[in-house]
Amino acid sequence: MPPRNGARTKGNASPPRNTAAPRRPAPAARRPAPRPSVFRKAGRPEVRLRWVAAVVALALLAFLLRLAYVQLYDGAALAARGHNDRLVTTVLPAARGDITDANGVVLATSQARYTLIANPTSIARFVPTDAQVAAYRGAGELGTGAVAAAKLLAPLVHEDASTLGAALNASSKGKLLQYKVLAKDLLPEAWRAIDALGIAGISSEQTSERVYPAGATAGNLLGYVDADQQGAGGLEKVLDGQLSGTPGQETFERGVDGQRIPTGTDQDKAAQPGSDVALTIDQDIQWYAQDAADKAKKDTGATWVIVVVQDVKTGALYALANSGTADPNDSSVPVSKRGSVAVEGTFEPGSTGKIITMAGLLESGLAKPSSQFQVGYTYQTSNGQTFHDSHEHGVEKLTLAGILAESSNSGTVQAGSKMTAQSQYDTMRAFGLGQHTGLGLPGESAGILRQPQDWDGRTRYSVLFGQGLSANAVQVAGVYSTIANGGVRQPAHVVASTTAPDGTKTPADLADGSRVVSEKTAKQLTRMLEGVVGGDDGTGAKAAVPGYQVAGKTGTAEAVGSNGQLSSIVSSFAGFAPADNPRLTVGVFVKDPKTSIYGGETAAPVFSKVMGFALHDLGVAPSAGAAKPYKTTW
């Protein structure tokens, strides 16, 4: 059979099959259907919706699970956290205790004040109510926001509306603040008027301000407080622990914009006020003493004048005054001018210290008031030191009382040379020199009293008439109070008692008195001092007080000047009255007077005025008779 398609074969072999020949395509109906592909069908709308629904369902399920977790498990903790985030705690200042004088007159007290606070974020949304619009009395429309708030507030804080408006728009980094101080130290009535306006975003913080109703009276003693109302000087500092009290606190909820949530948590812990402190100072006597010091400074041209008034039986101070006392209400006064020269300033006692030498001689039995001495203008000691009186004179026949009455330096050295250096030193220490008074006022100086072994050949004798040592005014006055009190020294003090907030009154804890000389010696010294004022040759005649026996001593001594050297003079008079029944000691000290350097001329007249006023103010009866001083000559 011939091959198909005319193909030739070789021999009988079958012709090869042509595998490369194309096949006929199978009918379309017989083709196998292709397998469906998700990826090829993803573009169909119904499939896409199914995927979206599945994703949404998963998201909802996650939210539901989270909600269930928050509500059923973590809800309380989150609520507490949010509550705590809204809580704000502010300090409630404690009322500082009052300081009063001996008669209950208030010398220092605290009054409520307010700091005005604004929330600019809230103020920006402020829309005045009809009542607020009606309350506006300014020109033009009130407006809204910071402009309206500033117009309403300006008259009440005495500030220009435009300036106040700028503060109400205060911002940082382009964002309005939530806290801005607008004004400080507002009076309570001013805050009540502002609060009555009802401006959302305006609030206050209560503070206090220390006020001194008597002005400069006793300002050198009272001291002052700092910006935090804590004692920074004087008695305010010394007594800060009793006066301060314990601050309280208020905790409340605040909204996002800083406004207080009216129905939120509000918890108060009341502040505990401080204790009141009563002083021994008598306001009237203190005022008079300060006025007398100021007048004496002006009349004499002195650098300063100090006046001390002390109760001889208790050591209590009725007045501790110095000229130029600053008003503690005036915060502009520098710290250097707020202290008390009466305890900070020291000087040589001078002739007022001669009474200590006389006390030592009488107490040791080395001399009597009537002991006789021939006193020349000069006196030379055994070691060759020469001392002289203030005025030239011939040899005078003076008693020991006469040496004191005429304030003779040469006579005092002659008589005092009988004492040993140690004995003189011990007597001065016993009278309170060289040690703190016990007042505890800031800056108080103990003065200078060196040990006898440190005295040179001249100091050994100069201390006999009040030179070669230094003391403050309270120490010198205390010497005379000791004599007036029968020889018993009572420590000086200015605090009488404290009264706690519950009304419990506690007297001041005072040190016991100490006997310095016998009562007999004290009486002899008193009669000798009477001769200084009432005797024919006494240097203190101008210290006399009509109706009262006066015992005292004049003094003129060197003091440290502005150059650090003993280039200044302090003239003084210290004494007590009535001498027949002592009640008060007054000391007057005048630095660098230009009219006269002698205490009998500058200090004695001031003593007379202050002592007379104080005796009458306290109702002290006049003396029963005239003084009987010792004979001054022989």
Give the residue from 537, 606, 530 showing the smallest Cα distance to 355.
Answer: 530
Residue 373 and residue 361 in contact, taking contact as beta carbons nearer than 8 Å: no
Between the alpha carbon of residue 439 and those of residues 239, 495, 572, 594, the distances in Å are 12, 9, 22, 32
- Catalytic sites, residue numbers: 351
Residue 154 and residue 132 in contact, taking contact as beta carbons nearer than 8 Å: no
3-state secondary structure at position 256: coil
How far is Cα of residue 307 from the mean position of the Cα atoms in its chain? 23
3-state secondary structure at position 496: strand
Q: What are phi and psi of 361, to 5 degrees?
A: -65, -45
Strand-pair category, 396-399 with 372-375? antiparallel
DSSP secondary structure, 340-395, as one string: -HHHH--B--GGGGHHHHHHHHHHHTS--TT-EEEE-SEEE-TTS-EEE-SS----
Give the residue from 183, 189, 176 showing the smallest Cα distance to 150.
Answer: 183
Q: How many CA atoms lie within 13 A of 65 on its CB side?
A: 6
Residue 151 and residue 142 in contact, taking contact as beta carbons nearer than 8 Å: yes
Please tell me the distance from the alpha carbon of residue 594 to that of residue 613, in angstroms, as a whole number.
26
Which region holds residue 173: left if phi is over 0, alpha if psi is between -120 and 50, else beta?
A: left
Which three-class secondary structure string do you get for 4-21?
HHHCCCCCCCCCCCCCCC
Please tell me the distance from the alpha carbon of residue 206 to that of residue 226, in angstroms, as a whole number.
17
Residue 486 and residue 581 in contact, taking contact as beta carbons nearer than 8 Å: no
Give the residue from 499, 615, 585, 614 showing the smallest Cα distance to 314.
Answer: 585
Residue 370 and residue 527 in contact, taking contact as beta carbons nearer than 8 Å: no
Give the residue from 394, 382, 392 showing the smallest Cα distance to 421.
Answer: 382
Query: What does DSSP assign to residue 48?
Result: H
Query: What does DSSP assign to residue 65?
Result: H
Please tell me the distance from the alpha carbon of residue 533 to that of residue 407, in angstroms, as a whole number.
12
In one-letter notation, the amino acid at residue 192 is: R
Between CA 131 and CA 136, with CA 134 as vertex, the angle to 5 degrees is: 115
Strand-pair category, 99-100 with 276-279? parallel
**Length of the chain in terms of residues written:** 634
Q: Look at the block and give the residue holding tokens 């060759």.
A: 384
